[in-house]
Each structure stands twice: as structure tokens, then as C-alpha cells.
Amino acid sequence: MAPRCWRWWPWSSWTRTRLPPSRSIQNFGQHFSTQEQTPQICVVGSGPAGFYTAQHLLKHHSRAHVDIYEKQLVPFGLVRFGVAPDHPEVKSYGAEDHQALDIPGEELPGVFSARAFVGWYNGLPENRELAPDLSCDTAVILGQGNVALDVARILLTPPDHLEKTDITEAALGALRQSRVKTVWIVGRRGPLQVAFTIKELREMIQLPGTRPMLDPVDFLCLQDRIKEAARPRKRLMELLLRTATEKPGVEEAARRASASRAWGLRFFRSPQQVLPSPDGWRVAGIRLAVTRLEGIGEATRAVPTGDVEDLPCGLVLSSVGYKSRPIDPSVPFDPKLGVIPNMEGRVVDVPGLYCSGWVKRGPTGVITTTMTDSFLTGQILLQDLRAGHLPSGPRPGSAAIKALLDSRGVWPVSFSDWEKLDAEEVSRGQALGKPREKLLDPQEMLRLLGH
């Protein structure tokens, strides 16, 4: 994206401006006129969806002027803050909030959302004070998607394997002191319905110093159904089945026998209650409802059997989904689905307003999904622009935003300011043998910039 075409407008979270969170609405083009030779387009959120949408607009309209707004002091959203530091090539998840469990005991110390835990070890400023207690023996992760496996892998990976990544020093120090030896990854449904992918599963199976724990009973009578699955799912299930039922070779058996840590998949279990310690001050376990499957195909759902199982643990991480938040009463929002009602990215009943990313389609997919989706939103916007379907008349564009910020005494952080912060992080990282050491304190960032 050529510097002549776009500008960067992040500011710190202490401003009073009523702008949407960076991962709640990824893009909307609101302040431009169809009569202008240079359409002014506003993109809110500098995560993958925001940048990909801006990229498409700039590539396909030679005069487009794009302003990107961001609530954090640094760009790139959960490309910077998401997933795991040992997977820099797939950081691609974004939504502002997490799905609550809505069960008793969820508020106990020792219960965290996976989103907050990921933010903690990736240096998201709002999660820097999380301080999870890793002195327990067993952790339970609720959910069986890639984020759940990422979190399990970080908990069990030898810390010296992480020290060359951009994980924060605070998180690395806590992991060095961790006593977590066992991680259970729990799902409401069965092996055929897991949401993680084969790459992440293979990494877990091969994780140094660990051994997998899979119950062969969970895989009985699945061979025929595996044969009918699409190729990616078939390969995944075959790997699960081999790991659960086949006797490992001599070398692999020796590796597993010497492992000091373990991880396992628990199927057909739904969280019912977080159990407190005797003094009531922290989590001591989780009560799981035993489930069975009803329905077929996509309609398969887990229903309780009436049986329960108590699983002792000292740490519970909820990874049952992300969700977007509403941003303003003037912007339609479906609280049940966690999306802005839209047709191909056009926000319903609000001409000139568009959305892309997870707030458009829900919290599914990875970076390539978001890229394709954002390009489509950009394409729709440009079609409407050419067809004259957008509100006409002069619009003040970014000049009005600048005047508003000036009136409130807000100093935006420019993209050149980000480049200074970037250089500082890289410099600090080099001293530690890491790609970067992330700045965590917004006030420190502002001091470094002289704000």
C-alpha cells in the first residue's frame, strides 16, 4: 500500500472518543461522496480484515484515500497479539470478546478465557496483569479448536524452546516456574467433530517431553465413518485413530515413557460447574456432564446423559469461541450471532456502511479466509461506489476526526510513531536473542514517543 494513499490513526484506550474496538468492526467506509474524484474511505480496525480491505480498495481504485483507525497504540490486531508465539506465520484470529461459559464458579480465581491467556503471553496490554497461577499439577482447557491446542502446547512446551520467540518475558518467566504436568482438552462432542487441524495435532503428538493420552474406546466403530469423510478430515481422524489405538514403535515408546508431562483429549463432556477449593478461594476442579450425540451431519449436537464426572484441576481455560461486541446504537448488531447484519458486507439499512472479518460472518476461519472475505467486501464497496449507490454530497472525512481529537486534547499515534516503537521492541529483543520484546505498558509507549 503506497504511503500517499493511506494514513494511520491509532490512539490510546484512554481517549473518550466513541470509536469501535479494533476487532469488533473491521471495516466500514462511511465518509465519502460518490461525486468526489478522491473517495475518502474509513477503515476501523487494523487487524487482518481491516488491512486486507484497505489493500483491495487501494489496488482497485487509483484515487482512493483510506484512513485506518485503531484503538490500540500499535497496529495489526491479533496478527500481533493472537495465537501462539511459536506460530508467527498463522497469527490470524480476531474478535473483541470471548464466549462465556455461563456456569456456576466461572468467576473463581484460576478460571480464564483462552483469549485473555493468549493475550497475556503475546503481550496484549489489557492482559499484561493477568498473572495466571501455574503452580497446579493439572490444567483443563474447554474446547477442541486450534486455539485450545495452541494454549496446551504453550503450557507444555519446554521454556527454552520458547525463549527465541516474541513471547513476553513475563510469560516466559511464569512458564519456567510452572508446575503444570497434565493438560486435558475437553470437548462436548466426539472425535469426528473436533475443530483443530492436522498440523496442530501433529505438533502436539510430537511435542518434546510429553505423551498423548487418548482413550481407544472413544474411537470404536469409527473406521467406516472415517472412510466416508472428506480428505482433510479423513487424514486428521486417521492420525487420531493411530495415536489412540496403535502400539508405538520402540523409539516412540521410549520417548513417551520418559516424558514428564502429558496431554489428553476428553470427548463427550460438557462443563457444568467449576468446583471451588475447600476455602472457596480458587478453582479445585470442574464438573463435566457426560454427553451423547443426537442428529447427523452438521446437525449433530451433544445432549446430557444425566451422568457427571468431576475432574480435579487448578487451572481452567475456556476456549469455546470468540465473539464481537456491539459498538454503537447507530450500528445494527445481532447479539445472538455476534455479527453485524449484512448482505455481502453491506450493513443492513445503513447505506455507505460495510463490515468484514469476524463481525461480518462470525468467528470462523483463519488468515486466508479473512483475506478472501475482506477482498469481497472491498469489491462490493467499489461496485456500489461506481454504481452511485452511496450517499452523495460533501463529507468532511478525516478532517472532522482530526478536529474532534484536537478539541479533546487527544494526540493520535501516527504510523511513523509505530515505526519508532517497532524499532525499540526489535532493539530490546536483540539484547535477549529474540525477534522482539514487546512493549506492554501504553503509558511507557507514549513516554517513548514524547506524548
- Give catalytic residue positions: 87, 150, 367-368
Backbone angle region of 382, left / alpha / beta, with phi > 0 → left and psi within -120 to 50 → alpha: alpha
Output the nine-digit C-alpha cell for 304: 446430557
Query: Residue 249 phi/psi, 5° resolution?
Result: -65, 175
- Give the burial string for 62-72 (b: 16+ CB within 10 Å, else e): eebbbbbbbbb
Alpha helices in 31-111 (DSSP H): 48-60, 77-81
Distances in Å between the Cα of 269 and the Cα atoms of 122, 302, 308, 377 are 29, 9, 9, 39
What is Dmax (Cα atoms) for the chain?
75
Angle of the 198-205 helix axis to the 231-245 helix axis, nearest 10: 20
Backbone angle region of 43, left / alpha / beta, with phi > 0 → left and psi within -120 to 50 → alpha: beta
d(CA 79, CA 46): 9
Residue in 107, 103, 140 with CA at minimum distance from that of residue 280: 107
- Amino acid identity of residue 422, one-letter, is D
d(CA 376, CA 31): 20
Q: Is 79 exposed, middle or buried (0-12, 13-18, 19+ CB in 10 A)?
A: buried
Distances in Å between the Cα of 268 and the Cα atoms of 202, 321, 326 are 22, 18, 33
Query: Residue 336 phi/psi, 5° resolution?
Result: -70, -45
The radius of gyration of the chain's CA atoms, rounded to the nearest angstrom, is 24
Residue 131 in 3-state DSSP? coil
- Asked whether the beta carbons of 237 and 192 are under 8 A apart, the reply is yes
Residue 11 in 3-state DSSP? coil
DSSP characters for 82-141?
A: SS-TT-GGG-----SEE-----TTTTSTTEEEHHHHHHHHHT-GGGTT------SSEEEE
